[in-house]
Structures are given as C-alpha cells and as structure tokens.
Structure 1
C-alpha cells in the first residue's frame, strides 16, 4: 500500500539561486547535482556530507539546459544569451565560451565519447561542435521554426532534433544528412531523446502525447496519451523498461513500456513540470516544476503492474520546487531537492515517516 508522508519540515537553508531553476543533471557517478537558473548562474552541489557547493557565473541571461560530460569532468550549459559555456565542475572560475547561435540556445548535449556537442536554437538551426578542435563542424538547417531540442544517439552515429514546426528529424552525424523525418506529432514538439540502446526514439509536445518509434523499422510503436496537457519532458530508464514524463498538467508519470501502462502518477507539483531525467545508473531521477508543494511517498519498486496514484502534502516556506530525485531499488524512495525563488536549497532523504536531513556546507 502507498503511504502518504507527513509534511516535511525545513532542516536548513542553502543560499543558492535567486530565481527559478530551469535545468538539472546528475554527474555520471551520481555524486554531484548541477542546477541552472533564470538568475544566470550554474551551481554544482556535491552530494557527499559536509561537501561544498560551487557557483559559476558567466551567462548574461537565463540558462536553458545543462549536461555533464560522459566522464563528468565538464558541464555544458546553454542560455538565452545565445552562447554555450563549458565549465570544470570542481573548479570555480572562468568558463570557455562558444558564440553558438544568432538567437537563444534551447538545448545542449554531449556525444557519447565526449568529443562533440550538439546545440539547438531559436534561430531554426542545429549545430554540431568539435570539442577537441573547439570549432563548429556543421549546421543542420532543415527546421522551419524554433528548434527546441537536439540529442545524440547513444552510439553517436545519429542526431535527433525537434521543434515548433512539428517535425522530428533524424540526422546522420557523420554526413549531416537528414535520414528520416516524422511529422505526425500533432503540433510543436518540445523534447526528443533516444533509449539507451539507440533502437527507439521518443518525442513529446503540445498535443499532450508521447510517441515512440522503432528506428529499425521507422514505425510508430507506442502512442501514450496519459497526460491532460503539454508533455514538456521525459526520460528513458537505462533498462529501457520504464519511462518518466512531466507535464503542464502538474503530474509526473512513470510508465512500464513492457506492459504498456502507467505504473505511477506522482502529484508532487502544483504547476507545470518542466524537466524529468534519470541518472546514468537509473537509481535516481530529477523532476522539476514551479510550485509550492512537495510530497514524499514510499512505494514498492518498479515491478508492480498495479497503477498507483502517489499524493503529495504541503510544504510551507517555498515558492518553487526545482528538482526531485527519486531512488529505485526494492522500494521507490524519494529524495526532494527544493529550490525556492528566494534562493534556498534543501536536500531531503525520505526513508520513513520523516525525512532524513543530508548535511551540506553552503
């Protein structure tokens, strides 16, 4: 049976961001969490007890996306200031700047070997960059409107992109040629990504649906219409058996792709959910949205076929909940990372009827 946790109580303030958090990612080891904000800063939080957080400044406008490199030695950030920056997450200091696009940059992603970056922009272009040469390799210019997202396939051979023109495009990463184009997406497409084996491609967007194509046959294999509003984000579990999605309907849903049904509906947000991503190990995920409530529920692990609605309780003292990592094992245990517009960050570990505090040095 699902159990609703008592209201969390504030353990400690962390002086962090001063505005809404827009993006987050775990390091490959799971020992660091990076967050980016409208306040133009990147903060890397070390998740070991008594470890320091490091703030990085350089962008002139809001951060829109970020990602750790495959080795974890770099963090790439994109911004509305038209640039992409590379940071060393353990060293506070200057970043390396790519004057990337002629308009806001909406996404940034590393290739599997960490040698290339792909960026997407409001200027209707996707660009691929060499990190070893620190130069632009080529631009992909077939989209006719804002490009919302671009991602490398796990083997680095393909690039997927999507945008406000309603198209999902698949590109050969070596030649820059478009090899497939899916246009039956029901409007603007906000997010696109591959599963961990690279055999499937998923997209979500304005029509509140999630679509999954089998790239071996180019056929649509799954159409999930489980949300009641725009689906802003999703992430495949590394096992490829599960998918988490976040929507403007204020919910996060975990779907069992083998059974073809929703396993959990998480009601932890009271506003649009803007980001959801599994860690590399699959033991955690981060979801983010602008709201004032947080819930903590302990539930049996991802093996039950029964759909569960996991309700939330109020958490006072916050105006924005930015990210919620959850750990999977024998049980579903939730870790809440709370970032308010007043710039405070608190990390909770929920393992019983009360959260356990994880200590930091701000």
Structure 2
C-alpha cells in the first residue's frame, strides 16, 4: 500500500470587501464563485478567476447571517436579521426575490440536494420548509424551546437536523414532520450541525468548545473532540467523509481526521474569531470567514492521495484528553478510499460520455433555476403594477365623486 502523501493546507487567496464580520461562506458547484454574507447587511460574490471583480448585493435591511448556493449554482439563498430570506441570481444585476420567512432573525438557510426545497431556521424557535419555486410555505417544525441556529437536509432529503440554543440537536422525519430523536450531550448552545456525506451520521459544534459526531441510525455518540479553546462556530465535512474542518472563536481552523479520530492540522489565519468555514463540492478548496472582515480560500492538499487504500479498523482515541470511541468507517459511513485499480476499470470513453451528460444536465437544471427566478421577479413586478393601478383607479373615483358633488 502506498503511503499517504499529506501536505499542509495552504492559503490560496484572501478577499477584502466586507465592512463588518463575515458570517457565512459557500462555494458554487463548479468553484467558479464564492458567496459570503456579513453583519454589514451585504452579500459578496467573489470570482475565483484572477482579476475578476466581485459583486456586492444590497437588499437586506440588517445583518446577513447565512448564505448558500443552490446545488446547480444558479441561485443563492440568504437569511437575515431583517426576518427575510432572499433568493438571488448571482450575476451582475443581482436581482432577487424576497419573502418574510420568520417572525425573528433568520439564522440558517439550506437547499435540499435536488434544489427543490429550502429549509430555514430562526430565533422564533421554528424550522420552516419552503418550495424554491414561488417560495411556497410547506410546513413548520417547532419543538425547540430557544433560538434555532442551524437546520440541514440529509443528502437523501428524508431527514432534517437542527441545532439550537436549548443545547439540543434534533432529528426530524421530513414526511411525518415528527421529531424522531433529540441529542442532548452538549453542555452549551449548539451553533452548527451538518450531515456526513453518507447521511449516516451528523457533526455538531457548540459553545462548550466541543465537536461531537453521532450515528443517526443507532442514535449514539461516535466521536467527541475537545480541540478548541473557545466556541465552535461552524464546521464542514470533506466530500470524502474522511475529514472535518471546524472554525472557532479561538481564531483557528482545525482539520480532524475522522478515520483515525485525531487532530490533523491547526490553521492560523484570521485575526479574531473564525466565524464560518465550508469545503468546496469537490473538496479541493475550503473557505473561511472571520470577525476580521476577511474571507480566506485555502487549498486542501492533504487529500491529494485519496486514491490509496485505507484498511477499516476500530480505533479508541483520546483527542486533547477527551476520550471518544471512533467506529469503523463502514459502521458510521466514513468511506474506504478507492483503489486506483477500481477507477482504471472505467474506459476513457465512458468517462467522457458521463462528463458530457452531467454537464448537459447541469446546464438544463441551471437554466430552469434562472427561469424560475425570472418568473418570480416578474410576478413581484406585476403585483406592484397592479397595486399602483388600483391606487390610480381609486384616486380617479374620488376625483369623479368630488366633481359630481
């Protein structure tokens, strides 16, 4: 077996443009763009190409606390302290549709993997699910007894996980709309939660400075990391499922090796709290944001040899003095890394056909997203026109009545 050739993650670029703390970051599917939200009430769309100017999107009337690209990359959702959610077309014009989603601050927005649904979480203690097309409200989940910080769909769209200032992580069945389990092991507010790419486990970061991973099939704690010296604000799984990156108010980012249950890297870049972090869809890059108003893009590097085989084992590990049992990667959905011989079975022609088909489908889905958004914008404009026309007619009626009198 070839040895893993791990290199340190490297800072590729950093973006300056926000005028207050960065709250959220996300890559588009093709890594062409990066979106960030900020306490300055703006969204910024950064181009990953050199010398390309960034777009600043204005619309929210208060801090933007969450942003996410749709799976196709043709829409961006944002949630704000102004209680609204906006859906943007990430182009020069920056057109958006807006809807009042909650009765308090919107903390989290997340698209389902098919791009058809949106889940939002709020300080009004509820989680709400919407259709992306026409932003139709579907249902609300309301068993949390404090602010809901984060809500995520599972990869298959059948489950929703949420984290709250009531110190719980709740797992919901999307079809029955019932809470099927509450994880209560955190000793502080739970700021962020994510599904593992397999959908079999979840990771959560808390104000108790810890990161915990649970198996959602057995509802039991898998791993417990106490590697930060302050609040854990955000985390993101590498698409392979073998690594987790975390961002903390101790100003560091940490890379955790989930196969071995150990801390792999500590990254110092931000001056002050690191508030958000996200891997790109292919795992080659990850982005972070901080209270220093900066957005940083890092090259992963350490996953360069993901083609090598890692044998499944069971580990019992201690990370910074905190013990946690790490299940075998098959048990909790952390995958074996593919052998190079498996990949070579595919012919070059098959790969080209699959790539071509995937690109065509992505283009079609993207165009449908754009059309949906344009229709929504036109509907809003038509409603405004109708309202103005109604006002004119009422004014005309009053004038006629006055003349008659």
- Which bracket does the TM-score occupy, shorter chain normalised? 0.7 to 0.9
Q: CA deviation at 1:31?
A: 0.6
Counterpart residue number, 1:175: 176
**How much does 1:91 deviate?**
4.3
Assess if the C-alpha contact under 8 Å between 2:41 and 2:60 holds in 1.
Answer: yes
Task: Please show how residues 1-362 of structure 1 align to structure 2 within 5 Å.
Answer: 16-291=17-292, 320-328=293-301
Conservation of the 8 A alpha-carbon contact between 1:250 and 1:271: yes
**Distance in 2 between the 1:96 and 1:175 partners?**
30
Q: CA deviation at 1:72?
A: 0.5
Output the CA distance in 1 between the equivalents of 2:17 and 2:246: 27
Q: Which residue of 2 aligns with 1:358?
A: none
Q: Secondary structure at the match of 2:230?
A: coil
Q: Using the alignment, how far apart are the partners of 2:241 and 2:114 within structure 1?
A: 21
Give deviations 1:249-271, integer Å, cap 9, x for gaps: 12111111111101111122331
CA distance in 2, matches of 1:244, 1:205: 14
Q: Is the 8 A contact 2:188 2:206 kept in 1?
A: yes
Aligned mates of 2:147, 2:95 — CA distance in 1:
30
What does the per-residue CA deviation read over 1:211-239, in whole Å, with 9 as the maximum and x for residues that have no partner? Answer: 10112211111011111111111111111
Structure 1 partner of 2:384: none
Find runs of 4+ consecutive structure 1 residues off by over 6 angstroms. Answer: 1-5
Question: 31-40 or 109-118, which moves further after superposition?
Answer: 31-40
- On the 8 A contact 2:20/2:291 being kept in 1, the answer is no
What does the per-residue CA deviation read over 1:257-292, in whole Å, with 9 as the maximum and x for residues that have no partner? 11110111112233111111111010011112224x
Assess, with a 3 A threshold, how the Cα gap between structure 1 residues 57 and 224 changes in structure 2: closer, same or farther: same
Distance, in Å, in 2 between the alignment partners of 1:51 and 1:267 is 27
Asked if the contact 1:77/1:84 (under 8 Å) is kept, the reply is yes
CA distance in 2, matches of 1:134, 1:2: 44
Q: Which runs of 5+ in 2 are unaligned?
A: 1-5, 306-405
Quote the offset at 1:85 in angstroms: 0.1
After superposition, the C-alpha distances for 1:177-205 in whole angstroms (9 at most, x for unaligned) are: 11111112112111001011101111110
Do 1:58 and 1:94's aligned partners in 2 also have CA atoms closer than 8 Å?
no
- Give the TM-score normalised by structure 2: 0.70
Task: Give the RMSD, CA atoms, in angstroms.
Answer: 2.5
Q: Deviations over 1:301-340 (max 9, x none)?
A: xxxxxxxxxxxxxxxxxxx4333333336779xxxxxxxx
Deviation at 1:49, TM superposition (A): 3.3
SS at match of 1:254: strand
User: Cα–Cα, structure 1 residues 45 and 188, in superposed 2: closer, same or farther, change >3 Å?
Assistant: same
Distance 1:110 1:219 in 2: 27
- Provide the C-alpha distance between the structure 2 equivalents of 1:327 and 1:24, rounded to a whole number of angstroms: 16
Number of residue equivalences = 300
CA distance in 1, matches of 2:58, 2:66: 15
- 2:350 alignment counterpart: none
* Structure with the higher fraction of residues in strand conformation: 1
Any idea what SS the aligned residue of 2:152 has? Answer: strand
Structure 1: runs of 5+ lacking an equivalent: 292-319, 333-362
Does structure 1 conserve the Cα–Cα contact (< 8 Å) formed by 2:102 and 2:124? yes
Larger deviation, residues 14-23 vs 127-136: 14-23
Q: Is the 8 A contact 1:24 1:323 kept in 2?
A: no
Query: Alpha carbons of 1:15 and 1:211: their partners in 2 closer, same or farther (altered >3 Å)?
Result: closer
> Per the alignment, in what secondary structure is the counterpart of residue 55 of structure 2?
strand
